[in-house]
């Protein structure tokens, strides 16, 4: 990456910190879940449902955000995202009724997250590093792991000191204090390139996918299936892991620390999986990572039974390794298959399937617990989807991209 322009390295560093902040907010909901249930007395599915609604709203915005990125650029989108996300967190802090949480967090904060979060980050990184998408995404998205590592335990401390309302307000302040000035001074839109780093004017024969062309292919839907199943199982675990461990007698602070350890492991995993996928292929790396997800499910059950520290942190290692593949490798596979100037709109549509998986996993696990008093059925479903994900990736075959058909 040293041969790439210096502005690209500044963008990479800025996107890294952006993802620390935005996805630190995202994954800290796992500790808000416990606090809201305890204080307000609501059902687990109702509180988890607010997160699912947040994710689904976020996903519904992805395709319009991808379209806007092509027309108005990343800076305006990211700046608006910082403002709206901060506002949503402030509104969520005023929750008195269930619909307050769904409106403030599930709608307003979700729109802000969509404008300031993942899709603009992928488009920026891919645009500045077209020849090394996996490696660059691995470095940038290590910020998500850093956000989990820092924000999840910090949020638990803030809740313990001043309550969950104050914790949400502090998060809003952090979002505004970083996203707004960093977007204004550090973000630049990338040069328009195709996946081979050449402008279309220089290479008119380069693939030029559009969204209508992409959705007529089986590969689009196979990759959408990968996005759904992989995110369903990993998000289900990440959102409910603290509640699961607390239910089994693990102290809340230790359970939150396990969540932070997941973030620490995922930092190295994202960088490693991204670089390895550029060399060994997206399919091989996906299979290895979801083998770790399968192992994490078994170790989580054992950790609930025995509450042994080695098992608790063994779970964190396995799920951190498995979850770490999503951020660098999944968008890189989309770039392999559907490159060109229309990528932002295509990826926005695919990202809607990611969010459907994210929201479904969190809500179904909560609803299952309300019905049965246990997470066991959700864990069995997670095991099935963890095995299905690499199979779908092999069928999508990003190692063999095809040009679009007219």
Domain boundaries, the chain: 7-197+208-396
Average pLDDT, the chain: 88
Q: Is the pLDDT of residue 2 over 90?
A: no
Query: Quick count: other Cβ atoms within 10 Å of Cβ 123?
Result: 25
CA-based nearest residue to 241, from 33, 392, 77: 33
pLDDT in tens, 199-232: 444 445 456 788 899 999 999 999 999 999 999 9
DSSP H/E element including 305: helix 282-306
Name the token pair of 195. 């996946």
Per residue in 343-370, pLDDT tens?
A: 888 988 998 888 889 888 888 998 899 8
**4 pLDDT above the threshold of 50:** no
**Is a pLDDT exceeding 50 seen at residue 338?**
yes
Give the range among 93-102, 325-334, 376-385 with minimum mean pLDDT.
325-334
Query: At residue 118, does pLDDT exceed 90?
Result: no
Q: Can you give the pLDDT at residue 290? A: 97
d(CA 104, CA 203): 47
Torsion-angle region of residue 281: left (phi > 0), alpha (psi -120 to 50) or beta?
left
pLDDT at residue 385 is higher than 50: yes
**Alpha helix (H) residue ranges in 248-281:** 252-280
We find that the CATH architecture of domain 7-197+208-396 is Up-down Bundle (1.20)
């Amino acid at each position: 990456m040293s041969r790439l322009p210096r502005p690209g390295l500044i963008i990479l560093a800025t996107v890294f910190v952006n993802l620390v902040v935005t996805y630190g907010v995202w994954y800290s909901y796992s500790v808000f879940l416990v606090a809201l249930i305890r204080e307000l007395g609501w059902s687990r599915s109702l509180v988890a449902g607010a997160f699912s609604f947040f994710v689904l709203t976020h996903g519904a915005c992805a395709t319009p955000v991808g379209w806007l990125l092509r027309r108005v650029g990343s800076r305006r989108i990211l700046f608006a995202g910082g403002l709206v996300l901060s506002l949503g967190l402030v509104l969520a802090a005023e929750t008195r009724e269930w619909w307050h949480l769904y409106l403030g967090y599930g709608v307003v904060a979700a729109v802000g997250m969509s404008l300031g979060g993942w899709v603009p980050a992928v488009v920026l990184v891919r645009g500045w590093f077209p020849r090394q998408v996996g490696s660059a995404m691995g470095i940038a998205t290590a910020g998500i792991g850093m956000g989990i590592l820092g924000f999840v335990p910090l949020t638990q401390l803030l809740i313990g000191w001043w309550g969950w309302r104050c914790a949400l307000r502090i998060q809003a302040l952090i979002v505004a204090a970083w996203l707004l000035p960093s977007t204004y001074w550090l973000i630049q839109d990338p040069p328009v390139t195709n996946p081979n780093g050449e402008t279309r004017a220089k290479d008119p024969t380069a693939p030029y996918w559009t969204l209508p062309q992409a959705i007529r292919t089986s590969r689009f839907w196979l990759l959408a299936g990968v996005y759904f199943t992989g995110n369903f199982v990993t998000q289900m675990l990440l959102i409910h892991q603290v509640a699961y461990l607390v239910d089994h007698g693990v102290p809340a602070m230790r359970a939150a620390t396990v969540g932070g350890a997941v973030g620490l492991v995922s930092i190295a995993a994202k960088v490693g999986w991204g670089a390895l996928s550029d060399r060994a292929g997206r399919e091989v790396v996906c299979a290895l990572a979801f083998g770790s997800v399968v192992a994490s499910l078994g170790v989580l059950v054992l950790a609930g039974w025995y509450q042994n520290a080695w098992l608790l942190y063994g779970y964190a290692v396995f799920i951190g390794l498995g979850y770490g593949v999503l951020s660098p490798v999944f968008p890189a596979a989309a770039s392999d298959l559907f490159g060109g100037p229309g990528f932002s709109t295509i990826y926005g549509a695919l990202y809607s399937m990611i969010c459907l998986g994210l929201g479904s996993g969190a809500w179904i696990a909560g609803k299952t617990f309300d019905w049965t008093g246990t997470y066991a059925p959700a864990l069995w479903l997670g095991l099935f989807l963890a095995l299905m994900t690499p199979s779908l990736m092999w069928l999508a075959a990003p190692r063999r991209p095809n040009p679009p058909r007219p």
